[in-house]
Chains A and B, each alone.
Chain A
Amino acid sequence: MKTIEIGSARGEASKRVDGMLKVADLPDGQPMAIPVTIIQGATDGPVLWLHGCVHGNEYCGAYIIQTFLRALEPSQLRGSVVALPFLNLTASQRNQRMSPFEGYNVGDLNRCFPGNAAGGLTDQIGHVVWTELKRHATHLVDFHTALTPDTHWSLIAGHDGKVRGEGLGMARAFGYSPCLPTPPGTLTGSAMMAAGAAGIPSLIIEAGGIGSAFSPETVQEGAARLRNVARQLGMLEEQVADHGKLTLLSNFAWCKSAHGGMFKPAVRCGQPIKKGAVIGAMYNTHGEKVATERAAATGVVLAVNPGPLLPQGDILVHIGLDPRTETRAAE
């Protein structure tokens, strides 16, 4: 059986091993190292790569990954799980999206893949992570959040053939209804699209909100859904749960605010919405209504900005376009 070795973690058959992967140097010369867990099963099979906190303050995914790992019995696994729950660790430490050590305007790690060994800090982090991912992974699940606890949707790399087909299978197994098969040319630089282009079926899960805006229920349920993805990939000899058909989207639209102020949203994630419908209202600090905010497109609400304060141009609502129930029966 082939050994998977990443950073200081060296996989062993039917075991869980933990280690650290150095992704860069800190300004004082100490290593910037991120946690890696490798669980190799008893036999060869898929290598399911899981990562979280690409955006540092999107903690829900790290909790889902870790809850999933704790319930996994290595000897019952076919293939391997590689988990990096905190990719952008210095950003997580500071409860922010991008690394506090990133000085350039390229700090969004999920726009930096496949990375650059001679680029800015985040480019170099992207390069180190991508090198290992490309070497080992057969499938990728990348965890993100939006802003509020009720966020639940997914995206897959929409590259034709196996990437799209197996990606849809993973999305169905995870089973959040709204799913965007992402066309190449969109979300360029994301781990998902870089992996898709390299022939690795890839799924992004958007679960919960930034910071502490997620519930223990979302974590428990997310871990169970992730286990169902492992079943779908034939990594566990368990019956695959059927979460029903996906609601496929053609693309998404951002509704941006033309005003700054105190925002009170009037919509929730998952609800259908029509162009021009009221999505919330903006107030000034005296408590007077400044504007009624309306939907820029028709579709399904994927994410909502809870406010309470927004500068002009911030994203109010994220809308999935052309939602349609998939025609083929769920597997």
Chain B
Amino acid sequence: MKEIRVGTASAKSACRKIGTLRIGTLPDGSAMEIPVVIIRGKQPGPVLWLNGCVHGNEYCGTFIIHELLARLKPASLQGTVVALPVLNITAFQKGQRMSPFEGFAGGDLNRNFPGDANGTLTQQMAHAIYAPLKKQATHLVDFHTAMTEDVRWALFAAVGGKIGAESERLARAFGYSSTLPAPPTILGGSAMMTAAADGIAALIVECGGKGPAFTPEAVKDGGERLMNVLRALGMVKGKPRDYGKLNYFSNFAWVHATKGGLFQRSVACGERIEPGSVLGQFFDLHGRPNGDARAPKGGIVLAIHPGPMIGTGETLVHIGLDPREV
């Protein structure tokens, strides 16, 4: 079989290999390296590429990827899993979204694919990651979180044709009810949309919240759903579970806070809301009620700010629009 190589990890036959991929240089001259795990089966098949912590503090996905890796054995695998559980390693270390070494406004790694070998730090990181991905991956699952532990939804690259259909297959196999078929006009620069444009079926999973805001149950369940993706792709034996109909959205709406203060949410992720529904309550520093936050549009709550303090312009709520069962 043809070699699959990412950084120092190289797999030519059935094996589990770990290694590192150099994605930049730190200011002291030492290497900025990220972990790579390759699990290759005996038989040729899909190359399923897994990305975690594109945003450094979205740890839940790293744990889900680890959960899958702990369950997978080369002997019972068809094809290859390439896992990069921590893409934005310096942001990961600091518990923040973007790299602390990124000095420019372009620090969102998931807006900088396919990257630029002569760009800013984050653009160069994206380039180092995307080059082996583009060359070798047939399918991509990219793990993200929102803000609270009850977040569960997914987006697939709805680019039409074979790649669009294959991306939808990933979404149905993962099976989160709330799913956005993402039109090619949105999320430019994301690994998902970039990969889809290059003929790689792609899915984003949003599970849990940033930092420690996720549960062991979400990790375990996420690992099982990811295994179901492997079943659907024929990479492991077993009939894929059918999670039933999904709620598809036409798009999503980001709602930013137009005032700051103490904020206590009153809706949960997955809850259906109408235009004008109360989402939570603001209080001033003395604890006096300072107005309700209301939904500007109806739909399903995909993400909501957990408080306890919110600043002007922070994301208050993220709404999936026009849910319909498909």
Interface residues of A (CB under 8 A from B): 18, 34-35, 37, 59-60, 62-63, 65-67, 69-70, 85-86, 89, 92-93, 95, 147-148, 211-214, 216, 262, 264, 283-288, 306-309
Contact = CB atoms under 8 A, between A and B. Distances in A.
Interface residues of B, number: 36
Nearest to A34: B285
8 contacts: A66-B283, A214-B308, A262-B59, A264-B216, A286-B37, A287-B65, A287-B85, A309-B92
B186 to A, nearest CB: 28
B103 to A, nearest CB: 19
A86 B148 contact: no
Contacts of B213: 212-213
A147 B211 CA distance: 12
Nearest to B285: A35
A85 B309 CA distance: 13
Contacts of B267: none
Nearest to A56: B309
Nearest to B216: A264
Interface string B84-116: 011001001101000000000000000000000
B211 A286 contact: no
Interface of B: 18, 34-35, 37, 59, 62-63, 65-66, 69-70, 83, 85-86, 89, 92-93, 95, 147-148, 211-213, 216, 262, 264, 283-288, 306-309
Contacts of B37: 286-287
B35 A284 contact: yes
Contact of B287 (A66, A211, A216, A285): A66
Contacts of A211: 211, 308
B309 A18 contact: no
Nearest to A65: B287
Given A284-B35, A308-B212, 9 more contacts: A85-B286, A212-B148, A212-B307, A212-B308, A213-B213, A285-B85, A285-B89, A286-B85, A307-B59
B308 A18 contact: no
A212 B69 contact: no
Contact of A63 (B62, B93, B308): B308
A37 B286 contact: yes
Contacts of A18: 286, 288
B283 A262 contact: no
A85 B308 CA distance: 13
A161 B213 CA distance: 43
Q: Which 9 A-B pairs have the closest CB atoms?
A: A66-B287, A287-B66, A212-B306, A306-B212, A59-B308, A35-B285, A285-B35, A308-B59, A18-B286
Given A212-B148, A212-B307, A309 B95 contact: yes
Nearest to B18: A286
Contacts of A37: 286-287
B35 A86 contact: no
B311 to A, nearest CB: 8
A92 B309 CA distance: 8
Nearest to A147: B212
A309 B93 contact: yes
A35 B286 contact: yes
Nearest to B37: A286
A31 B230 CA distance: 59
B264 A86 contact: no
B312 to A, nearest CB: 12
Contacts of A67: 287
